[in-house]
Amino acid sequence: MGYHAVEKTFENVEHALPNLDFIFQDLAALWYPSSSSTAGTATKLADAYTTLINKIGSDPDLGFLDGEVNIGKSAAPKELTPQITLKVKFFMIELIQLMENVLSDFKLESLANRNNPNNAGWITVFQRWTSGDQFKSNWATESKNYNPLFQKFVREVQTLK
């Protein structure tokens, strides 16, 4: 019975971790309560994310955003005609809306949910997005269209290191 309990407890812990601190950190992440979102929510949001990323890859006018959105380095845009500027604005609004949807669906206004290891990937993506020049430029004009809790969340994500 004791062997089975230990085996079950440590089944998903990386065994080659260098010391007990790492083992306990791994256990804390594994044992963190799962998100309170409804079934299928994560998949729906991941699909929306994939659709956005595919837009960058399939639209030559948005291709320059790859560095900013996927890597976290603002790339010098090609000449931004009024048509491309409008396309970028609408793309950024979609990106911002996905952020708000994730905030709402995973209840990220709660620090406990924001610190949930299951949501760490989203927080990392949002840090990258909010640090980009195009995001900052569009957020400056669009932020007033979003609720104050979401505006606060964006400010907090922008200050995370």
Which pLDDT tens digit goes with each residue over 133-158? 999 999 999 999 999 999 999 999 99
Look at residue 23 in the predicted model and tell me its pLDDT: 60
Look at residue 30 in the predicted model and tell me its pLDDT: 53
Contact 130, 154 (CB under 8 A): yes
Q: What span, in angstroms and rounded, lies between the C-alpha atoms of 61 and 75?
A: 13
The closest alpha carbon to 123, from 153, 147, 95, 97, belongs to 153
Look at residue 22 in the predicted model and tell me its pLDDT: 62
Q: Does residue 107 come out as left (phi exceeding 0), alpha (psi in the -120 to 50 range) or beta?
A: left
> Mean pLDDT, the chain, as a whole number?
84
Cα three-residue angle 17-5-12, rounded to 5 degrees: 35
* String of DSSP letters for 59-128: -TTTGGGHIIIIIS-PPPPS---HHHHHHHHHHHHHHHHHHHHHHHHTTTTSHHHHT-GGGHHHHHHHHH
In the chain, DSSP finds a helix count (H) and a strand count (E) of: 9, 0
The pTM for the full model equals 0.79
Residue 9 CA, distance from chain mean position: 29
Which pLDDT tens digit goes with each residue over 42-53? 899 999 999 999
